[in-house]
A and B are shown apart, each in its own frame.
Chain A
Amino acid sequence: MDIFTSIFWIATLIWFVASMVRDRKKTLNAVKMSGGMMKGMASEIIAILFLIGLILTFIPPNTIKSFMGESNILIATIIFAFIGCITLIPAFVAFPLVGSLMDSGANIVPVVAFLTTLTMVGIVTFPLEKKEFGIKFTLLRNSLSFIFAIVIAVIMGVII
Chain B
Amino acid sequence: MMKIKRVIYNNKLFTVVLLTYIVLTALIPGKAVQAFQNSLYYVKEMLMIMPVILLLTSLITAWVPRKAIEDNFGKGSGIKGSILSFLLGSFSAGPIYAAFPVCKALLAKGASISNIVVILSTWAVIKVPMLVNEAKFLSPKFMIIRWILTTISIFLLGFIMSKMIKKEDLPQEKSNDHEEKGGIHLSQEYCIGCGLCAKIAPDYFELINKRAIVKNAFIKDGEEIIVRDVIGKCPAKVISTT
Contacts and interface: CB of A to CB of B under 8 A. Distances in A.
B52 interface: yes
Contacts, number: 234
Interface of B is mostly: helix
Interface size class of A (residues with CB under 8 A): 35 or more
Nearest to A122: B96
B52 A5 contact: yes
A89 to B, nearest CB: 8
A59 B20 CA distance: 15
B141 A160 contact: yes
A120 B199 contact: no
Interface string B25-65: 00000010011111110110110111011111111011100
B38 to A, nearest CB: 4
Nearest to B50: A38
A38 B54 contact: yes
Contacts of A21: none
Nearest to B126: A119
Interface of A is mostly: helix
Which of A34, A92, A141 gathers the greatest number of chain B CB atoms within 10 Å? A34
B153 A132 contact: no
Contacts of A107: none
Given A34-B54, A37-B94, A140 B161 contact: yes
Given A19-B62, A57-B35, A134-B169, A50 B96 contact: no
Contacts of B157: 141, 144-145, 148
Interface residues of B, number: 90
9 contacts: A37-B193, A43-B11, A50-B21, A57-B38, A115-B146, A119-B125, A128-B97, A134-B171, A151-B153
Interface of A: 1-2, 4-5, 8-9, 12-13, 15-16, 19, 23, 26-27, 29-40, 43-54, 56-58, 89-93, 95-96, 98-100, 102, 108, 112, 115-116, 119-120, 122, 125, 128-129, 131-134, 136-137, 140-141, 144-145, 148, 151-152, 155-156, 159-160
Interface of B: 10-11, 13-14, 16-18, 20-21, 31, 34-40, 42-43, 45-46, 48-50, 52-59, 61-63, 93-97, 100-101, 103-104, 113, 116-117, 120-121, 124-125, 127, 130, 132-138, 140-142, 145-146, 149-150, 153, 156-157, 160-161, 164-165, 169-171, 189-190, 192-196, 199-200, 207, 210, 233, 235
